[in-house]
Amino acid sequence: MKTVGVITKPQPDLARPTLEKLLSWIDGAGHEALLDPASSEMVSGKKRPTAERSEMPERCGLIVVLGGDGTLLSAARHVYKRDVPILGVNLGHLGFLTEITVDQMIQALEAFESGKAVIQRRMMLTASLIREDKTIEVFHCLNDAVVTKAALARITHFRVEAGGRWLTDMRADGLIVATPTGSTAYNLAAGGPILVPGLNAIILSPLCPHTLTMRPIILDAAEPVCITLLANSEKVYLTADGQSGQPLMSGDKVVIERSRQSVALVGLPRRDYFALLREKLGWGSR
């Protein structure tokens, strides 16, 4: 871990104190910090090496994300190919991915350095947009791939297949295809179930389906999901982790399957997922 990459949410008033605390630890531990542009702009004093987020995985043994889950999702798009662990420090609100608090940050860094930290493998999805039998673009998702209508569009109509078998033709505002990691994101807000990370499964959660009996379903992640936009659909979009995407045309297919890559998240020892759910969702409190 000679070089530690630092990616920071671009909100100086919120992030600067934690960033300074992190850099002090990196210096004291004899490591070098490699900052993204947002982090670099917050630092005063000596000039530190800076790199774009896409360049960091080639040069770092650990990447620390200071921000919320959105900041970590942005970092994961660049990191997953190189299998560099990510330590997420929560500066946001809920923080399911950035589960380390500011007060726990140094403890988590020391645990990682000593080999005592928990490395959580989180599955990813690939979402391939296919138009007239040609792959237009491939997206990589840690949380979810979502097919949804624009704000002013009418209800959308699409066919859903799983593992090559017809599942249903659906009329709805859209469809969320979520990983276990993404089960506590948009999927949860849409009424979908929570899955424990590590399960080899994905969730299909309809958004405002026209048929009220259309409910979320959990599928084996080994079976690709194919969503075909039917002819009378209009102004529909595919989005990946809520951060990138493409408009769809009638007849387009979106093939979503488990990625060969995964993301490694650094967690504290002796902290389990159920404790995280109790903390973040307030289970058991009155």
Would you name the residues annotated as active-site residues? 69
Backbone dihedral angles phi then psi of residue 62, each to the nearest 5 degrees: -155, 145
Beta bridge partners of 171: 157
Q: Determine the Cα–Cα distance for residues 44 and 25; give it in Å rounded to an integer.
A: 16
As given in the structure block, the two tokens for residue 190 are: 């849409």
From the CB of residue 85, how many other CB atoms can be counted at a distance below 10 Å? 19
